[in-house]
Structures are given as structure tokens and as C-alpha cells.
Structure 1
Amino acid sequence: MVLVRLQLATIACFGQMPGTNPAISGIFPNMFPLGAGQQFGALPVMPVQAMTQQATRHARRVYVGGLPPTANEQSVATFFSQVMAAIGGNTAGPGDAVVNVYINHEKKFAFVEMRSVEEASNAMALDGIIFEGAPVKVRRPSDYNPSLAATLGPSQPNPNLNLAAVGLTPGSAGGLEGPDRIFVGGLPYYFTEAQIRELLESFGPLRGFDLVKDRETGNSKGYAFCVYQDLSVTDIACAALNGIKMGDKTLTVRRANQGTNQPKPEQENVLLHAQQQIALQRLMLQPVPTKVVCLTQVVTADELKDDEEYEDILEDMRMEGGKFGTLVNVVIPRPKPDCEASSGVGKVFLDYADVEGATKARAGMNGRKFGGNQVVAVFYPENKFYQAEYDA
């Protein structure tokens, strides 16, 4: 009976049967304002997806430092989305990996927000990648919480990423890790690894060296990374090499993860001696003119497979090359039909009657566009050309 009286008292008080929504009056409407059709207890809450995004944001963002002045939100977003796709770093499905970019133009850094924690971890493998001609740092942001992030997804990059597709090597960002890793940019494409090492070793033996090459053609991409055994010469080498002319290029040499440091006063004598050595090396590295010019970035192996297309390319090369002098021969190595490796595929060789014609051709064709590609033209050793050695 006591229970029945309590139930009746409740009904009398609220005018409702148990199980229905009471019409709350007094202070309660101010505490829990209800809209039309809303039930008591249906409080406004943040959507679950938004809460998840906020909670994981610290682990989905990466810090990108050392940006060039021309960088903007769109260019950074497009670049990192394309690079993530190229290395196989997208794990959240189709579409762009980057969802948001904030740039601090004054301090030249950005926060790049990825779709997932795993994609952000994969992006950490991109440290040292070249963006608009400059190597950039890729780090965790200052609000990154390692212990919390460990519960949200992988905290390390996938070891199977195809970093070679963007000119990096696994775990090394194109060279050895550490603050003394040097970026060497603006290298003439015709410089060999041996020549570049000889130039750099004017300051001392190297602990690590990596000339970045195009994955398909094997040609130099014009930049390299190195670390000296004696780390004290790092700033000396940067100061001596940066800004000097090498052939038709100007070198950019600096620490890969920061701006150029000035050498200390006690290093100045060493620097002077090093600069004298560089002057000698520069003379040795000037290209020796020959009667043969080699063009790269002109044709692909697929274009050379079709006989008719091959003849069209051959005729185009004769016409273009003939504008600079008397052409003796044009050689465009073709891939073998049985898929066996064939030397020189992707290169075009122009054999002139004299060095003067070849010199004009090299100057006139280097940097030009052909089929949408920027041509690289270099002198080629005559003895190797006449012996059909096309991979020198």
C-alpha cells in the first residue's frame, strides 16, 4: 500500500503516468531547455566524429619546417597529398591524405593535418624531402603526446613505404640522420658521383654520401646529402661551397635541417685553404666539350617501342639538332623486345661534325621543353659513343 500511495502522489504531482515525460516547470527549464519534441535527457552533445577528430588531432598533425617563402596552404597540401600517394602512405582509403594546413609565413613552418594517425606516422618518413627546391624538416608537433598516441594507431612509419619514389632512402631522409647532415643542391646533371665526392672530400673524408637519382632513368636529380667523419668541418664546407658556380649551375650547400651557420673565427684559415682547393676542383670539373651531345628527359621507353612513333621522334631530333650545326648521326637506343636490359634507353645522342656545333646544341637545348619534359643536355665522351657504350 505504501508503494501505491507513492505512485499516486507522483502522478498527482506531475500529472503524468510513470514512463511518460513530465512537463518540468520552475528552474528546470532554465537548466535543461528543451526544444519542441525533445525529451528530457536529450542534451546537446558534440558529434562523436568531431570528438574523435579533436582527441586524435595531436597525433594526426606533423610539423613541417624550413618552408620557402613561396609556400602557401594550397601548395603544401597538394605536395604532401601527392607525395603520400606516391610512397604508398595513404591508409585511410582513396582521396587526399591532407585535410588541413596552417602556415606561419613569418617563421616559415606549417602544421599539416592528416586524415588518420597512421598516415601522420607515415608522413614522418618524409623528413628531408625537397619542397620547391629546399629540404624541409618533418617532425612531431609540440603538443604530441607519445603515450596517448600509442593507443590511437602506429607511431612509426610503415617500413614498406616506397620512399625511393620521391628520392628518399628508408630511415635516412636521403642521407645519414643527424644535425650535421648537409644538403648539396644545384649540382650539374653531368657530375658523376666520383666527381661530387672528390669535391666534398676537399674538406675531409665522408661518413655518408647519397646522390639522389631518378628512379626510372638512373640520372642525377641535381642534389645530394652527405655527412663528414669530422663533424667540425660541417660549417666550413657549407660556407666554402655555398653559392659557387659549377658549370652552368650555382651550388646551394647548407645543413639539411637548418639555415647556414657561419664558421667560427678560429676556422677562418681552414676555410681560406678550403676555398683555394675548391677553385682548383672547379676547374677540373668543368665539362670538356666533345662532338657528341647526350640529351636526357626527352623520351621514355614506352614511346620507343612503337616503330612509327620511334621514327617520328628520330626525325624530330634530326630537325632540332640540325639547327645548331652539321649532324653526322642521331642515335636513340631502343628497349629490346624480349624485355632484356638495353643500355642508354631514354637518352638521345647527337653526333656533330665539329665541337662548335655540339657546343651550340648543348647550350641551345639544355633546359628546353620537349614533349612536356625539361631537357638536360651534356657533352658525351666520343670514345664511349663510338664504341656504343651509352650508359656512361
Structure 2
Amino acid sequence: MYKEEQYRSFPSSVGICTIGQMPGTTPTIPGMFPNTFPMASGQFGALPVMPVQAMTQQATRHARRVYVGGLSPTANEQSVATFFSHVMSAIGGNTAGPGDAVVNVYINHEKKFAFVEMRSVEEASNAMALDGIIFEGAPVKVRRPSDYNPSLAATLGPSQPNPNLNLAAVGLSPGSAGGLEGPDRIFVGGLPYYFTEAQIRELLESFGPLRGFDLVKDRETGNSKGYAFCVYQDLSVTDIACAALNGIKMGDKTLTVRRANQGTTQPKPEQESVLLHAQQQIALQRFMLQQPAAPATKVLCLTEVVNPDELRDDEDYEDIVEDMRAECGKFGTLTNVVIPRPNPNGEQTPGVGKVFLEYVDVESATKARQGLNGRKFGGNQVVAVFYPENKFSEGDYDG
């Protein structure tokens, strides 16, 4: 989080204007907008009081402010206020009625950051979608301030941006980095560097659509750094996804998946059945993503097709082989069908649970893979991958 410095201690160069000031009015401070601290008059003269509205503003301030980092040296309070009020209106982020969304701006010129205070908690959350927006020629970071309290903020209003904001109106892409703040942000580490964004999203979306996703890349090379952040549209699946994905091996790496702002979490008892189903889906995704796509060959390996128990009886086994030959022969001429069977003495047999199909040419095998991969078979989703011809010819089915 970001250290909030000098927020209440203004530099000595900032003065308070008193010339011509009317009794009972608030002095003007650069960066502060009129009527931020209203005064009340009584029979004893002008006495400062804090009405109910002001107390409410004070209690919600941590959830109504956003940190804006990476400002240009020419930025000032008014230019920042005008800019963010304009873009909030442009994306449809204003929810507190007519007028500007920004009520206060404080800038630390030395460290080039600002705190921008919005009228409402919901508008501050909508402003989080503006992360990366171009201001005065450079992208700026939009984050929560260091005093942001997620659990308290959740009782005050929405903690995530409205998913229907028109971010394209200000040159931003929905679902990139926007919406990636708050207690439900997930850290995904240990990703193989060759995984594409599409592959990672496919893995994560096994649990549901994402509200935000950001694969962290090297600025100079554009290559993946091996970790990403995401937020789900349905926040109730956050812990389920973390529990199912964490510890899964991907190639030579092991995934670390957890809430970004805390340690490992455990799913609630009522989430157990959902978690079990999710883990089954992840097992399929893991098999498909363990390594870059294998080169096309004449041999296909199918998984999630047969149950080892079904292969023990001779008659059942012959029926399964014939069914496979008939169904898979629709894509081209088959020269061999191999379905490894369990060893009667209980010893581990390589390849049990897999089906190997050898076609007369690569073209037929390619058609078969396109037609079989992802199909439902006995309630399971088939995974079809090319298998090395040399290993198949040697009877090595343990690949």
C-alpha cells in the first residue's frame, strides 16, 4: 500500500488566505474546495461545528479516496480535479447526482502522487477502473490509499467498479487492470513463462467469468513475469478458486494462488461439493496446459474416456475397443487402437485410463483431434492430444 504523507500537514509554502475574508467563513486552502468544512453561526458568534453530514464524510473518507501515482511535474490540484471529474462523467461513473465527482485533491509534488476524494463510496470504487489512464501524456496508477479498510468499506457501499462502465470512452480496455483492487483480488504465481494470456484466462474461468485480469509483463521485453492478478465477477467463488488451484503443478512449476492481501484461506463446508467439481475441471485444464502444444503426429492419446474398472472384464473390454474403433474411425483410417488394461495382480500398468489411436496419416489424426477434443463421453469431457510416434511404436504408454 502507499504511504500517505503530509496529508494533514501542508508544506510551509501553502498559505491561508485571510485578506477580505468575511467573519464566519472558512479560509481558502489550495486543493480544498469551498464548503468542505461548513460553519454555523449562533448568538455567541461564528463557532465551528461538525454537522451530521460532515461526520459521515469523515467516517467514509477512507473509502471515498483513491491514490493516483505517477503524476507529471506540471499537475496541480485543479487540473487533477477537473480531469478526474471529466473522465468519471465520460465513463458513466457518477452515481451521486449532478455535478463533479471530485470534492477534494491533495498533491505531494515531490513524490508525484495525489489523493483524490470523491463524493461517494460508489464513485470511488468506479474510479478504481481508471487505473492506467493517460493523464498529461503519461499513464497514472489508481489504487486504494493506505488507510483503506476493506471490511469496513464493504458496509458502506460497492467495493468494486460497476462492470457496465464505458471505459472505451476514455481509451481503456474493460477487464484489463481495472477492478483489480479490494479484498477479493487473487494473486496467481508460479505460472510457466510460455503460458499465453488466453491459456491463463481459460484456466481461471473454469470457476466463472472474470471481472478483471492482469498478467504482469516485463516492460522492456513484453514477456510474462510468471504471475498475474484477477477478480471474479461472482466473489463467492474466490476461496473455491484459490483452494482448487493452489499447489497444482504446471510443467516444472507449482502454482501459488491466494487472496492478494492475505495468506492461504480454506473453503467453507458448504463449498466442498463445488470445490470437488472445480478440482476435476482443473485436472483437465492442467493436462492441456502442462506444456506447449505438441507437434502433430499420426497418434492421438485420449483421456477422460474410459474407467479402469470397465477394462477388467474381457467381454466389456472387447466391446469398448470395438466402440472406439467404430466411433474414431469416422475421422480417417485407423491402423491401431490400444487401450492399456489394469494388471490382474494389482501392479501399476503404464497408460491405464488412456486410449491410443494410430491413424494412417497425420491429416486423419488432426481431424480426429479436432472432432474429439472437448466432446462429452459418459459425462466426462474428452482431452485429445498428439502422442510421439516413436514412443507409441516402442510400447511406451506412460508419457
TM-score, scaled relative to structure 2: 0.35
